[in-house]
A and B are shown apart, each in its own frame.
Chain A
Amino acid sequence: MSLPAAPAATVAELVRGLAAKRYSSVELTRAYLDRVAAAQPGLNAFITVTGEAALAAAARADEARAAGRGGPLTGVPLAHKDIFCTEGVLTTCGSKMLANFVSPYDATVVAGLRQAGTVMLGKLNMDEFAMGSSNETSFFGPVRNPWDTARVPGGSSGGSAAAVAARIAPAATATDTGGSIRQPAALCGVTGIKPTYGRVSRYGMIAFASSLDQGGLITVSAEDAALLLGPMSGFDPRDSTSVDSPVPDYTATLTDSLDGLTIGLVKEFFDDGLDADCGARIREAISVFEKQGARVREVSCPNLPLSVPTYYVVAPAECSSNLARFDGVRFGHRCESPKNLTDLYSRSRGEGFGAEVKRRIMTGTYVLSAGYYDAYYLKAQRVRQLISADFARAFSECDLLLGPTSPTPAFRIGDKCDDPITMYLNDIYTIGANLAGLPGMSLPCGFVGGLPVGLQLIGPHFSEARMLNAAHRYQMETDWHLQVPAAFA
């Protein structure tokens, strides 16, 4: 497969290129749409491509630039994970349940990025209802890892990660509930950021686990993330959990010195589950930070190993309730000729939801049910408190935490489908940050057997600027993030 050439490697370059009139947004958008079309059979990264609308928006962006209106991002193409509601456009959440759902409204994130001038190429494939770590549960078929198409891209934002890794979209929005931005970013060799809980509005982001979900980005570089995070962030009166605190200019502090920065290595992250070679890549990365003036020390978060069981009580509980609205009455899949009300619900939902979603709904229903609530749900929320306290203690000693993102590089499609627990353990390093509402990033830091490895940064609440700064300084000294799989170069 030979793709038309990628116009630029990063959003930052596109911003400069558009400003310098090296190309128009229409030319740019057309070029990416061509790449999308060529790559789609092999990667299956997109569910919906909005070609006509994209070109129309690009034309409007060009007009705006010519008239001296618009801003730096005007005319920059990107794609949205199909979990974000987009007005007038199919929004499926990777599920048969919403396979015919055309959203009547825009998510706040979508509106914000549109207002900043970006052009939407289409909607990206994902694990069904964001439940998965491999993008194998999508109703629309698995997404393939551009580095090895027999392997998974990670999940649930597999489409977002694959699209950016293959450079068929300059950047993509994504969401992270237990690692769904960071883990696919690591497996695909791209950069991902999950902001602090409450930083980005959840209005219009189809809910999986309300106290854990957060919208974010998958990009080529930290600089790109810094450029796009601003328009996505900020207080939204439609979201009661949205935090009313000012959004800094994330680009302003990108090149700040790392002198005096204390980085904590979380002891519990470097456990037996971590592939040895991946661990080696992480340690090599650490020395890059040290060379830039950061000091590294070991910290311990002793309750972290309980993250995964905690998450698999809390997240299913919330999702079992969040997904109750899918009942075939007002939207979404409805079974044929329902005999009665119970039949309408049970068959529509039985047909509309895939196995993993049903599994999590049932898990959640059970842990909330009479007699089990205290032992499971309350217990898990108490452990969540312990884990948050561990992080808080760690942050009293250091500015950022560093560790691996994923225990292994990308595994083969179909490998981990038999035992849910094996699949769940893919998120062992990422889940903690979601439980505590902390911001986290994944940056490419090398390869193992030709497959990308990601390192994870975790910061205290609202430390995105600091994290992006550290990530950017790392990327100034390394070029892992600029590597593109040969087939997509």
Chain B
Amino acid sequence: MSLNRADIENIARLARLELTETEIPVYVDSLSRIFAFVGELDRAPTAGIAPMAHPLPGLAQRLRPDEVAESDHRELYQRNAPQVEAGLYVVPKVIE
């Protein structure tokens, strides 16, 4: 399964990854190889087999009680923030 430049550019856009001019052909090549390799899965006998989303079968999601268990740690959590103003995370203007 071969990918082309347009494919890589589309994927990179969806994934919000800026790629340089030199990078693009490298990814076209390596991703094409990966998908050629992964194509082996086509011959697997999966008719009637359910997809396995979780490795341990038969488990169900636990429900937790509806309790407030957190207090305000804004100062601590915002220490890692690149840009904060009046408690808000600042980003370039969001246009709707």
Q: Which residues of A contact B (CB under 8 A)?
A: 100-102, 104, 196-198, 211-212, 237, 240-241, 243-244, 303, 306, 308-310, 312-313, 320, 324, 327-332, 334, 338-347, 349-351, 353, 355, 358-359, 361-363, 365-366, 369, 376, 378-386, 388, 419-421, 424, 434-437, 461
Contact = CB atoms under 8 A, between A and B. Distances in A.
Contact of A312 (B17, B34, B64): B34
B74 to A, nearest CB: 11
A308 B40 CA distance: 10
Contacts of A385: 46, 49-52
Contacts of A211: 53-55
5 contacts: A329-B81, A346-B13, A350-B19, A362-B11, A383-B44
A278 to B, nearest CB: 23
Contacts of A243: 56, 59
A359 B30 contact: yes
Nearest to B44: A383
Contacts of A436: 55
Given A104-B77, A198-B56, A343 B38 contact: no
A102 B12 contact: no
A306 B56 contact: no
B90 to A, nearest CB: 9
A355 B26 CA distance: 10
Nearest to B57: A388
Contact of B27 (A198, A308, A328, A358): A358
A244 B41 CA distance: 34
B33 A362 contact: no
Contact of B82 (A303, A308, A328, A347): A328
Given A303-B44, A331-B81, A385-B51, A365 B94 contact: no
A349 B80 contact: no
A349 B64 contact: no
A375 B42 CA distance: 8
A353 B92 contact: no
A344 B94 CA distance: 12
A101 B53 CA distance: 31
A279 to B, nearest CB: 24
Q: How large is the interface on B (under 10, 10 to 19, 20 to 34, 35 or more residues)?
A: 35 or more
A212 B7 CA distance: 28
Contacts of B73: 104
B17 A197 contact: no
Interface in B73-90: 73, 76-77, 79-83, 89
A370 B17 CA distance: 19
A346 B16 CA distance: 4
A310 B91 CA distance: 38
Given A341-B94, A369-B14, A382 B49 contact: yes
Contact of A382 (B14, B26, B52, B54): B52
Given A330-B89, A346-B18, A379-B46, 9 more contacts: A240-B61, A306-B41, A308-B37, A334-B83, A344-B92, A363-B31, A385-B52, A386-B49, A437-B54
Contacts of B50: 382, 385
Contacts of A342: 16
A350 B44 contact: no
A308 B15 CA distance: 24
A381 B39 CA distance: 14
* Residue of B14, B79, B93 with most chain A CB atoms under a 10 A cut-off: B14
Nearest to A87: B76
The 9 tightest CB contacts between A and B, nearest first, are A437-B55, A381-B51, A350-B18, A331-B80, A382-B46, A346-B18, A345-B16, A334-B82, A385-B52
A257 B34 CA distance: 46
A277 to B, nearest CB: 27
Q: Which of A330, A419, A421 has the most CB of B within 10 A?
A: A330
A366 B31 contact: yes
Contacts of B49: 382, 385-386
Contacts of B93: 340-341
A175 B14 CA distance: 29
B11 A330 contact: no
A384 B15 CA distance: 26
